[in-house]
Amino acid sequence: MRNQQRLRTRTPESRAFAERVRLVMDLTSRLNALPFDDLEGRRTLLTEIFGAPIPDSLSILPPFHCDYGLGASFGERVFINQGCFFLDYGGITVGDRVMIGPRVTLSTAGHPVELDERYDFITHAPIVIEDDVWIGAAATVTPGVTIGRGSVVGAGAVVAQDVPPLTVVTATSVVERKRLKPPPAAS
């Protein structure tokens, strides 16, 4: 994953991250319990979740789920449909006039794939969605990906590499990337 960073678990930094996640999970549960027409209440909670004022033209339809909040930023005239998940610890930048379909997942964090490191770190890398992008329903964007200006991500696609500007991408597939080392023998 390009631009990957690591957060060691069981440290003061990882505990601060976990505390922020607990706070944002509480805020998003309150957001999702609001009456649909309580736009002012929604805006207030979204400002708390993201830790800064949000553009007046940003539209996020509940339910919405976010785990960190402080890593997301939005351009003008962004529309985010129902049921989306933003795992934003690594940073999510959303450009102007972006449309995000229902049940889209933007995930900037994970764990190392090697078994002997998997529980010791949280890996993270930013997602950048440039201007005028449309992401279809139930698509998943993985850490470190940039989706170029004007592109379309088809419904259900799993995006694990950069999408060039003005490109349409679709489909999912399983591609073996590498074989993992077996875990050390237990003593």
Active-site residue list: 111
- Integer Cα distance of 95 and 132 in angstroms: 7
3-state secondary structure of 17: helix
Compute CA distances 3 → 22, 121, 163, 165, 178, whole Å: 26, 15, 16, 20, 20
- Per the CB < 8 A criterion, the answer to whether 168 and 151 are in contact is yes
Phi, psi of 80 (to 5 degrees): -120, 115
